[in-house]
Structure 1
């Protein structure tokens, strides 16, 4: 297959190669770069990954793109959620089902409130890598590489275990494939039946008010079946990070990353002339871009010019993550920049109220850990809804770090969790997640907002 020739729309001052190949990103600077010492094992692992089947198909990817087009046009809502960082140990039946059931519960609420179909995307089946602000950390006085996710090294606080291991790429492939295989099996067995919401028990009781609400939705809303979208897809980005992760299948002259339906570029790695943007501009998958308070308004359109030169509707999801104290200063200028460009009405605006609202807390044992306040998360989401409405824009989705487990990692919410409660069930290996009750509360907020309009 011939390499892709770049189209028009590359901004002045950004000198992109005339052609794109799956490996052209290697000639550009890279943030969060992975450098393995064992080159021979890396070569062997890549060879194996080149030979195994893809995890998703281009047909599935194109189906998701068509649904994201609906989100961009205001006819659907994108619900995306799951763990901050998956572990290989999460590849278990109960763990997988709890995430699927939580997303289904939330989508039922959103369908009832917004009377729009819901596109459900899980941060699952490959969410094994995490960017880190520092390449090293000190644990009990010993310096070692930071834990960068199960796909790269071990969480075990030992310098040897923290060495980057290319063999973990293969482990990630098989855990991802097994997770997605079971998800597909559960969905084909009827777990997603929108008329049986009370069958989605997560193993710990819902509040009576929520049970009553689900019953009301089930008996009174005759449009649920019509509005329900396809089963959840997954965002296992960076399962296979090298050029072999792109497969030229199904459609001539298009390249797909067949390790995931939907990939995104982080707030740390969206430099216009760096490796992530160079790689993403050549793949046909839908693309997410994290947009934080450090992104100048005059950078957002040039970035879209590179990633989506043909202005394909729904191709790019802008995942905003400012923090509740900063969203009012930045979101309006970003909306205006898009509205005044040729990309107006092509992007999906998605609010991530988690990543800009981190804080440290001290537990009852005196340990300092990361947490998030439910009130801060709620505030950013409320402000996003209001700002988009005020500016004639449509908030087409929300992006949450959450779990179906009854954890105590974020303070506040209906249970009024405090810092003293965090140590009860704080199990995340990275960022704190909303538990089921907190996640459902946010779903009710969004549903109520759209129900009133």
Structure 2
């Protein structure tokens, strides 16, 4: 992980705190309509918790965020590929070193496959160390005639269907901060402490991938990487140590989550003493979701003033002109490395709607990188634009939450109930994620040859 001095994408640089003559402050979002925020019954406790979080150290640092902006600018120019993945929603109960390690390890495996196949750098961004809040379509859930507040992620309330669990509890924000800090600490150790060394590429395979099609395919690739490292070492005539230290023994890794719980995000926003810009120090990259991307809404107001790279999730409901307006609000200087457009609309809608979005953004002269999978690559090939990355809900655990996958193990509808552990949306398991990486690597290789 980068040190200080954390799909799917459109990219550019930090906005001024003053946009279109409107002053901005970390709390200016409160003057706008805020959707998806919980109603805390004890206001005094809520304010006390926020004051406590304000006194805590930042989880990420401005220097790390600026480094990510530079890397994303390379993706905007077609010279890198973004790999963003992790849990749909992190859980307090499932927290543990092994789970963090396994997700990190699968992302490393996928990045090796993509880098080797696409012959370009891979920017690794985890949906980790902060993905605790979830947007919901309704405010209440009803079971057997009983209505309770709907589960909005562990940072807000509990998943158990009882009044105590479902009542929003501000103390959960402190627990989310503590778990995020512990996760980041372990990720930094993995990224810089030798675990991510390319010389360990053979050791990254997960036990439950042994003797499977994807596991065997990965082993074959790992052998080729090993041979390439050996060749580079021999060719350097003993002078390979410095190259190995810089390029092979560590990796850069960033974190991301949806910017949803604005009071928490504001409490972790800091003014950088070097640049004078404000950074949301809860993560390196933040995204605004389909339900909170209103042009005059509180979430857009908050995000327009922080210097982090940002994501915009769009579905088939997104109007092309609205997307252009939103990008211009969040990135008025139109510089590469700022915005990530995450398309979520399914293959059928993607072929119909994505070309319209691409043409509108390109017609407005905006610098963008786009990311998704499958039909996404076909559309970009037809439009002559660069597919810049992927954004996945995935895990390193051997879950059965999404059907499909070629070869063995392949998850069927009958398998879903055996290991369906997610509290929200289903995730790809390690085998399915690795298979997808091989598919995308082939497409990237084709693009590089054109």
TM-score normalised to the size of structure 1?
A: 0.87
Retained in 2: the 8 A contact 1:117–1:227? no
Provide the rounded CA distance (Å) in 1 between the counterparts of 2:140 and 2:322: 31
Give SS of 2:374's match. helix
Cα pair distance change 1:242/1:110, threshold 3 Å:
closer
Q: Alpha-carbon deviation of 1:183?
A: 1.2
Retained in 1: the 8 A contact 2:17–2:305? no
Match of 2:307 among 275, 279, 284: 284
Look up the match of 1:357.
none
Deviation track 1:330-387 (CA, whole Å, cap 9, x = no partner) reads 11011101111131xx222121xxxxxxxxxxxxxxxxxxxxxxxxxxxxx2211111
Give SS of 1:137's match. strand
Retained in 2: the 8 A contact 1:348–1:395? yes
More helix by share: 2
Provide the rounded CA distance (Å) in 2 between the counterparts of 1:100 and 1:302: 36
Q: Are 2:110 and 1:106 aligned?
A: yes
Look up the match of 1:442.
436
Q: Alpha-carbon deviation of 1:405?
A: 0.6
Retained in 2: the 8 A contact 1:36–1:166? yes
Match of 2:253 among 232, 236, 241: 232
Q: Are 2:404 and 1:412 aligned?
A: yes
Q: Are 2:365 and 1:347 aligned?
A: no
Retained in 1: the 8 A contact 2:265–2:282? no
Provide the rounded CA distance (Å) in 1 between the counterparts of 2:172 and 2:107: 28
Q: Alpha-carbon deviation of 1:123?
A: 0.4
Look up the match of 1:6.
18
Provide the rounded CA distance (Å) in 2 between the counterparts of 1:53 and 1:227: 30
Retained in 2: the 8 A contact 1:119–1:230? no
Look up the match of 2:392.
400
Which gives a bigger RCO, structure 1 or 2 (Cα 8 Å, sep 6+)?
2
Match of 2:379 among 367, 382, 387: 387
Look up the match of 1:432.
426
Pairwise mapping of residues 16-27 of structure 1 onto structure 2 (< 5 A)?
Answer: 18-27=22-31
Deviation track 1:25-61 (CA, whole Å, cap 9, x = no partner) reads 1111122122211111111101111111000010011
Per mean C-alpha deviation after superposition, the further-off stretch among 415-424 and 214-223 is: 214-223
Look up the match of 1:366.
none
Look up the match of 1:362.
none
Look up the match of 1:55.
59
Q: CA RMSD in A?
A: 2.0
Per mean C-alpha deviation after superposition, the further-off stretch among 333-342 and 236-245 is: 236-245
Match of 1:311 among 320, 334, 350: 334
Provide the rounded CA distance (Å) in 1 between the counterparts of 2:127 and 2:257: 7
Provide the rounded CA distance (Å) in 2 between the counterparts of 1:214 and 1:5: 47
Q: Alpha-carbon deviation of 1:242?
A: 5.0
Provide the rounded CA distance (Å) in 1 between the counterparts of 2:77 and 2:54: 37
Match of 2:92 among 67, 78, 88: 88
Give SS of 1:444's match. helix
Provide the rounded CA distance (Å) in 2 between the counterparts of 1:251 and 1:237: 26
Aligned length: 412
Q: Are 2:125 and 1:121 aligned?
A: yes
Provide the rounded CA distance (Å) in 1 between the counterparts of 2:388 and 2:55: 38
